[in-house]
Structure 1
Amino acid sequence: MTHRLAVEDAAGQPELWAGASPAPKRAAHYLGHRDRLRERALAGGLPALPDYEVLELLLFRAIPRGDVKPLAKALLARFGSLAAVLGASAEELKTVSGIGEAAALELKLVQEAALRAARAAASKRPVISSWSALLAYVKQALAHEAREQFRVLFLDKKNQLIADEVMNRGTVDHAPVYPREVARRALELSASAVILVHNHPSGDPTPSAADVDMTRQVAEALKALRIAIHDHLVAGRDGVASFKALGLL
């Protein structure tokens, strides 16, 4: 029979003599957690999963070993919501300890796939008759952007989407807009109408006085070309504001 003889080390902690049997190691608490979480998801439980578990599933691919639950919760604590995590840039994601290139790419890939699906839904029919799909796309694309972004949706004679282009990116509260550039691009694409779109990183989509003035300048530049502005949408975390609905256009 092997006897376990213990003494104290220099720090006062118990220490086994050489040859004594080591204490059995405890299994890490997260062992089997990945399989159990995948099984729950595959059994149709995805809608019931909390946001941190959805993030865990996404991180499994980029981080094949270890417990990613604390990392998923850290991401939610840093950005505030699952949508905001996916909307964050790769560089912003990597400010969270434990998120490297692979994990950041995995999360951005999910965001890109969601945006393409939303854009496809908004593009299949004239935007005027699929307004809810358009608003959903605009909110997904811009509501969680950390910097202000100005983009234009160019439409053909049937009000179908020709192109959705970012015309400028700016700071946390301003993105410069050049009406002549909008007009030039509309001519290049043979657009008959446009919808202006930008975001408010503050979260409040209420149009500012500067937004109203900028819209007026773009409208004047397009009027001579007989190109209409159907609307100007402002996206924020609190929703999407429509200039037309507000009587500003």
Structure 2
Amino acid sequence: MCEIQEETITMKELPVSERPYEKCRTAGPEILSDAELLAVVLRSGTKGQTVLSLAQKLLGRKGEESGLAAAVRLPFTELIKLPGIGPVKAVQLQCIGELARRIAKASAKKGLELSAPHAIAQYFMEDLRHQKQEEMVVAMFDTKGHLIRETIISRGTVNASLVTPREVFLEAIHQEAVYVVLLHNHPSGDPTPSMEDIRLTKRMREAGDLLSIPMLDHIIIGDNCYLSFKERGYI
């Protein structure tokens, strides 16, 4: 019994006018749609399906999230369950997502200032906005307002009973930080602070004052939005 080989459809088999690679070379990547950009990276489709069709289906899949950002942030185990996505393509998609995160963070760091909550929020946005559970980060700064270090101190429910001042300020003391900023995400996408967030902020600020390491802000990250306790006058 002969093994049937599945024939894949590659970019070169598409009409020239539909080839994203050629379109990119002649007019630049900015004219390509999200699906076309993905198609350039994925390179080949599956039996009876062009790579562009595969990319379109990936972007338009049904579920809680869809679109480019959601597609490249799926876990490996979820990606390989999708029709037409094997281990190689799954790794390619994950690498795209990680590159995007690192590029966004590197760009945001240029404008990072201790006095600018929006710049701090933008720097951590891609790290935190896609997380499925709450994470708390302490960002530590020197006397000139330069970021020294960032450390995740909690994963899971962020509240005053589980996150202690010891965890927050021990690393700050070790790094000889002068100021700290707390950040955590709301997986719901809504950065509105809860009563627990407010209690936690008050507790951490009081601890920072006692240790002479002021907590200058607590920033909650939502879905491409944020709330700064400092900007709102809560601190």
TM norm structure 2: 0.78
Partner in structure 1 of residue 35 of structure 2 = 52
RMSD between superposed Cα atoms in Å: 2.8
Contact in 1 for aligned 2:142/2:177 (Cα 8 Å): yes
Partner in structure 2 of residue 215 of structure 1 = 201
Alignment equivalent of 1:228, drawn from 214, 218, 233: 214
Partner in structure 1 of residue 231 of structure 2 = 245
Partner in structure 2 of residue 38 of structure 1 = 21
Alignment equivalent of 1:68, drawn from 47, 51, 58: 51
Which of the two has higher C-alpha Rg? 1
Percent identity over the alignment is 35
Contact in 1 for aligned 2:180/2:214 (Cα 8 Å): yes
Q: For residue 202 of structure 1, report the CA deviation from its aligned partner.
A: 0.8
| Cα distance change, pair 143–219 in 1 and its aligned pair in 2 (3 A) | same
| Cα distance change, pair 146–126 in 1 and its aligned pair in 2 (3 A) | closer
Alignment equivalent of 1:199, drawn from 185, 196, 204: 185
Q: For residue 157 of structure 1, report the CA deviation from its aligned partner.
A: 1.1
Q: For residue 65 of structure 1, report the CA deviation from its aligned partner.
A: 5.2
1:169-217 Cα distance to aligned partner (Å, 9 max, x none): 21xxx24423211110111111111111111111111111111111122
**One-letter amino acid of the counterpart of residue 135, structure 1:** A
Partner in structure 1 of residue 134 of structure 2 = 148
1:36-80 Cα distance to aligned partner (Å, 9 max, x none): 1111122334223222222222323xxx55333344334333432
Tell me the number of residue pairs that the alignment of Structure 1 and Structure 2 aligns.
217
Partner in structure 2 of residue 162 of structure 1 = 148
Contact in 1 for aligned 2:54/2:84 (Cα 8 Å): yes
1:103-144 Cα distance to aligned partner (Å, 9 max, x none): 333223223223333333344465236655433222222212
1:212-236 Cα distance to aligned partner (Å, 9 max, x none): 1111222222222111222111112
Aligned equivalents of 2:142, 2:197: Cα separation in 1: 25
Aligned equivalents of 1:53, 1:114: Cα separation in 2: 17
Alignment equivalent of 2:79, drawn from 88, 93, 105: 93
Q: For residue 96 of structure 1, report the CA deviation from its aligned partner.
A: 3.1
| Cα distance change, pair 190–203 in 1 and its aligned pair in 2 (3 A) | same
